[in-house]
Structure 1
Amino acid sequence: MGQSLLRLAPERGDLDVVAAVSGSKPTQRVVDGVPQFSASEMHGVPAFDVAVDFSLPAGFDAILALCAERGAGLVSGTTGLEPAQLAAIDAAAARIPVLSAANFSLGVVVLADLVRQAAAALEGWDCDIVESHHVLKKDSPSGTALALGASAGQGGAEPRYAALRAGDIVGEHLVQFTGLGERVELVHRATNRDIFARGALHAAARLAGRAPGRYTLRDLVLPGRAEATGA
């Protein structure tokens, strides 16, 4: 994701990349005009308005703390966070704008709305969420599956989960509602990881300069949803 972000950011005229940070020590200090830092050197990065984080839970605390310290926004796609880390996001949102999402696809934003509507309309139906990802994905169920489950729960359903890890599947999520003699299936399939990077960059451009608070991707992407919630 980091390489995708760096490759796609120049497509936007409203973003300038001031630094790239990775877990390991960089072999080059500047790549394509972008200064490179290791996570241990993070406090040396130049001033920034918003950080985009796709790391692991072990690396999340440091970037959240740096953003809070500098008053900068944070867009994070890191999943598998511990309860204490989720609480830290809420605390930081009192000082900075924060968006933490499991999936940065616009299609998934729409899918979540459809799932909530279907759950509310199909009272008493079984709800099952089946997610498929590549063999290297560690968290299970995926963060996106859990988010879709939360949407189903808002509609009154009680979702069950199943996960598949196979090959190089980018990401597939099936939400199935089953009644007597009929079934409704809502599916999203990602075939290219660039959709997640583009969505995160779009969110970063929209989040920079906003008031402190917890934002959702829907707040920043869909019309009429511009205010933070839960701050």
Structure 2
Amino acid sequence: MAVQVAVAGFGGRMGRALAAALRLSEHAGLSAAIVRPGSSLVGADAGEVAGLGRSGLTIVDSLAKGDFDVLIDFTTPLASVENAAYCAAQGRPIAIGTTGFDAEQKRRLLANAAKVPLCLASNFSTGVNLCFQLLETAARVMGEDADIEIVEAHHRHKVDAPSGTALSMGEVVAETLGRDLDRVAVYGREGQTGERDRDTIGFATIRGGDVVGEHSVLFLAEGERVEITHRASSRLSFARGAVRAALWLMGSGQSPRAPGHYDMRDVLGLNASHLK
């Protein structure tokens, strides 16, 4: 029997991509399409809204109105916190791709991992999470002898900057080098900035057009540089990764994982500490 998946934020770009990914999945299906209260999409057919043809599934404005085994959430920080609390109370796993949480929102969100398995990922694509592993290696080999800069680009509609993925990349590099990203991150340069501090990690943000997502981390040493880059050409790569995470949280439909805070590298088997 297919795992029944609810999608919160169904009216957005990722909601539509998730509907397509679930249509392609052999092991999961869309069972609840959730939008914010007051949305004009409430009552519409989910398949038609996603451009997939009539499905018979009506879009609703509350998780309580949906029947599901696991939730995939790409909404806003406040909505994700509330949705995670609901899932925890109901004993249902949740995969969250929302970014832009402040410290208190993230604390409240992760508190729910004591009750249910919760996968929080700044990026669900397989390629980006492979890049995280490559960044650890590059930071160990070159990090002490190179200036490190992170450049990211997204479409004009993205509301947070730098992207959650760029921040995650910075965290991977900083942790590998024993640095505190909050102390060494530089998010903008203008005017007479003085000579660059080797320990800093710079971020540059580009917003425009319909760019799905591009991230590059540059290790700039004397006489050479290494660039690790990921470019996404379709949101389907993120959506299929999120569906993969949802199935993993459900134990591929057998029994849910133990309660805990997981990320996409756990799903892909890249975090040795969580290998089962």
TM-score computed with the length of structure 1 as normaliser: 0.91
Q: Partner of 1:57 in structure 2? A: 77
Q: Partner of 1:201 in structure 2? A: 243
Matches of 2:69 and 2:123, distance apart in 1: 22
1:116 and 2:139 correspond: no
Q: Partner of 2:261 in structure 1? A: 214
Q: CA deviation at 1:5?
A: 0.9
Q: Kindly indicate whether the alpha-carbon contact (under 8 Å) linking 1:89 and 1:98 is maintained by their aligned counterparts in 2.
A: no
Matches of 1:142 and 1:83, distance apart in 2: 16
1:140 and 2:194 correspond: no
Q: Partner of 1:170 in structure 2? A: 212
Q: Kindly indicate whether the alpha-carbon contact (under 8 Å) linking 1:93 and 1:212 is maintained by their aligned counterparts in 2.
A: yes
Q: CA deviation at 1:3?
A: 1.1
Question: Which residue type is aligned with residue 172 of structure 1?
Answer: E
Q: Kindly indicate whether the alpha-carbon contact (under 8 Å) linking 1:126 and 1:178 is maintained by their aligned counterparts in 2.
A: yes
Larger Cα Rg: Structure 1 or Structure 2? 2
Q: CA deviation at 1:61?
A: 2.2
Go from structure 1 to structure 2 and tell me whether the alpha carbon gap of 1:224 and 1:180 turns closer, same or farther (over 3 Å shift): closer
Q: Select which of 33, 36, 50 maps to 1:20.
A: 33
Q: Which runs of 5+ in 2 are unaligned?
A: 1-13, 47-54, 178-198, 251-255
1:10 and 2:10 correspond: no
Matches of 1:42 and 1:183, distance apart in 2: 48
Q: Kindly indicate whether the alpha-carbon contact (under 8 Å) linking 1:220 and 1:226 is maintained by their aligned counterparts in 2.
A: no
Matches of 2:20 and 2:81, distance apart in 1: 26
| CA displacement, residues 57-107 of structure 1 (integer Å, 9 cap, x when unaligned) | 232122111111101111010000121121012211111000111111100
Go from structure 1 to structure 2 and tell me whether the alpha carbon gap of 1:223 and 1:134 turns closer, same or farther (over 3 Å shift): closer
Matches of 1:75 and 1:30, distance apart in 2: 24
Matches of 2:111 and 2:271, distance apart in 1: 26
Q: Which runs of 5+ in 1 are unaligned?
A: none
SS at match of 1:145: helix
SS at match of 1:34: coil
Matches of 1:105 and 1:158, distance apart in 2: 27
Q: Kindly indicate whether the alpha-carbon contact (under 8 Å) linking 1:175 and 1:186 is maintained by their aligned counterparts in 2.
A: yes
Go from structure 1 to structure 2 and tell me whether the alpha carbon gap of 1:177 and 1:207 turns closer, same or farther (over 3 Å shift): same
SS at match of 1:189: strand
| CA displacement, residues 143-187 of structure 1 (integer Å, 9 cap, x when unaligned) | 000000011112216421110112111110010001111111111
Go from structure 1 to structure 2 and tell me whether the alpha carbon gap of 1:118 and 1:223 turns closer, same or farther (over 3 Å shift): closer
Matches of 2:43 and 2:272, distance apart in 1: 41
1:70 and 2:112 correspond: no
Q: CA deviation at 1:30?
A: 4.4
Matches of 1:135 and 1:63, distance apart in 2: 27
RMSD of aligned residue pairs (Cα, Å): 1.8
Q: CA deviation at 1:201?
A: 0.5
Go from structure 1 to structure 2 and tell me whether the alpha carbon gap of 1:27 and 1:64 turns closer, same or farther (over 3 Å shift): closer
Q: Partner of 2:8 in structure 1? A: none
Go from structure 1 to structure 2 and tell me whether the alpha carbon gap of 1:141 and 1:12 turns closer, same or farther (over 3 Å shift): same
Matches of 2:120 and 2:127, distance apart in 1: 17
Question: Which residue type is aligned with residue 127 of structure 2?
Answer: G
Question: Which residue type is aligned with residue 83 of structure 1?
Answer: A
TM-score computed with the length of structure 2 as normaliser: 0.77
